[in-house]
Each structure stands twice: as structure tokens, then as C-alpha cells.
Amino acid sequence: MNVVHPVLSVRHVGKAFGKKEVLRDISLQVEGAETFGILGPSGSGKTTLVKLLAGIDEATTGEVRVLGTTMPKLSVLQKIGYMAQSDALYSELTAKENLEFFAALYGLKDGNRTRRIGDVMELVDLQEHLNKRVDQYSGGMKRRLSLAIALLHEPPLLLLDEPTVGIDPLLRQAIWTELKGLNRKGTTIVLTTHVMDEAGKCDRLAMIREGRLLAVDTPAGVLKAAGAASLEEAFLYYGGARP
């Protein structure tokens, strides 16, 4: 892949809902084929930031560029696989019908569609539940189905908002292995989390708190700068709980 400019670049981005400022002066860049984690406590603005990256929302100030294009831009959406924080599934439909629907929206055709549906369902280990209605799925299964839908059209950029919430450790490990595999094939992954052990698996981390960017570094770099033994400690350090 000849990635000259960063896959994702955020420049002095601010986002306000009415008078409420949710993001303030965020600047960061994500390179091609890396796994980039956005780490922050609940309510810190992670989801808001991801929606700006996904082009669903628009920044109040500053600029978001995805794959070299200023967002929001419709044509870029085809290249993004987005997994929302809440499972956006049609619960009265079967998993297969959900997948077919989204596959059609991304323009996947007949044979390719069937093949991709099989692939992604295998990846999230749901192939036996393909014809089950989604309202009979457990929370973790729904999460996995949402992930499968995000992977469906083989996008070069994945935006995953808390992808592994409610998924048991064994399966979480398997999913991380797959994500890393996608990384190697050139897929760029941006994900949010507030699970510290997951943050350690990212190539680089952005720490945010109350809508401000505290630091962007590798997990090791974060530890070192904070003089902390664990990411948890480092997080508290950056969050203002400095000794």
C-alpha cells in the first residue's frame, strides 16, 4: 500500500452540542495499517469523536480528513466499516437478513455477498446462528454480529466503538487475533475502549478526558512518560490524579 498521507488526520477539532462543548481542540493522525486506540472514561467524548471520523456528524471547528478527503463526504463512507456503540440491528430479522441488507447497501453482489457473509460470520464464530432471529441473540452475540457487519465489505478503514463489550475473554482474544490479521493485510483500525488490557494491544493510543486530548503515544511510551507500571495507573496520571 502506498499510503503517503495519514489515513486519518484530525486537526484542531472541536464539537459542541448547543452550548455544551464535548470535544476541544483535538489533533491527531492515524497511519495506514495501524491499530489506533482511543482511551477514555465514559462520557469523555470517544463516541462523539468516532462519529466525526465516520462522517455521521460534523465538527463544529477544525477539520477531519479521512483517506485524504475532508469529512463529511458521502463517497468516503464506502471505505469505512463502522461499528456503533449500541448494536444497530433489525431485531425482528434474522442475522442473515441483516447481513444481506447491509451487504446490499455497500453494493456487494450475489456470489461475493454470500461468500463474505460466510466469512465474517465464521470470523465472529456465529455461523451456526445465521438463520436465527436477532431478538433471540444474547448481548455478546449481537456485538459480534455488529462487528461482522462492519467487516462485510472489506473496508480499508475500520471504526469500532467499544467493539468487545460483553464478549467473553476467549472470544475477545480470537477477535483480536483477527483484527491484527486485518492490520497485516493493510486495514487501518481505530477503536475506542475503556478496557485497559485491550488498550495494550493497540499500536498507539490517544488518551482523552472531558473532551481534551491528553496524550498520543505507543502503550510503552505512555507508560514511560507517566512513570507508571500499568496503563491504568498511567490513565489516572493523565486524568489529573498526579501524585
Partner 1 sequence: MRIRAIALRILRQFIHDKRTMALMFIAPLLVLSLMNLVFNGDKYTPKLGLEKSMVLYADRLASLDVDITTYSDAAEGDAALRSGEIDAFIKLEAAGPKVILEGSNPAANQAVLVVLQDLFSQPEPAEAAGGLQDAPVRPEISYLYGAEEMKTIDRYGPIMIGVFVFFFVFLIAGVSLLRERTSGTLERLLSTPLQRREIVLGYVLGFGLFTVLQALLISWFSIKVLGIMMAGSFMYVLLITLLMALTALTLGTLLSAFAANELQMIQFIPLVIVPQIFLSGLFPLDTLPLWLQRLGLLTPIYYGSEALMDIMIRGKGWSAISLNVMILLGFSLLFMALNVLALRKHRRM
DSSP 47: H
Contact between 98 and ligand ADP per CB under 6 A: no
* Angstrom distance (rounded) from CA 114 to CA 103: 9
Contact between 151 and partner 1 per CB under 8 A: no
* Angstrom distance (rounded) from CA 207 to CA 216: 6
Q: Which residue type is seen at 129?
A: H
* Angstrom distance (rounded) from CA 10 to CA 71: 10
Q: Which of 37, 40, 55, 81 binds ligand ADP (CB under 6 A)?
A: 40
Name residue 188's beta-bridge partners. Answer: 157
* Angstrom distance (rounded) from CA 169 to CA 57: 32
Q: Which of 8, 9, 33, 47 binds ligand ADP (CB under 6 A)?
A: 47
Q: Which helix (H) or strand (E) holds 148?
A: helix 139-151
Find which of Mg ion, partner 1, ligand ADP, none residue 92 binds, CB within 5 to 8 Å per kind.
Answer: partner 1
Q: Which of 1, 5, 27, 43 binds ligand ADP (CB under 6 A)?
A: 43
Q: Which of 13, 59, 89, 124 binds partner 1 (CB under 8 A)?
A: 89
Contact between 55 and partner 1 per CB under 8 A: yes
Find which of ligand ADP, partner 1, Mg ion, none residue 20 binds, CB within 5 to 8 Å per kind.
Answer: ligand ADP
Contact between 193 and ligand ADP per CB under 6 A: no
Distance of CA 63 to the CA centre of its chain: 19
Given the C-alpha cell 494491544, which residue does it identify? 201
Q: Which residue type is seen at 165?
A: V
Of 107 and 186, which CB lies nearer to partner 1 in the complex structure? 107
Positions in the binding site for Mg ion (CB under 5 A): 46-47, 85
Nearest distance from residue 85's CB to Mg ion, in Å? 5
Contact between 37 and ligand ADP per CB under 6 A: no
How many CA atoms, within 13 angstroms, populate the side-chain half-sphere of residue 103?
22
Contact between 19 and ligand ADP per CB under 6 A: no
Q: Which helix (H) or strand (E) holds 219?
A: helix 219-226
Name residue 69's beta-bridge partners. Answer: 66
Contact footprint for ligand ADP (CB under 6 A) = 17, 20, 22, 40, 42-48
Contacting residues toward partner 1, per CB under 8 A:
54-56, 58, 72-75, 77-78, 80, 82, 84, 86-93, 97, 101-102, 104-107, 133
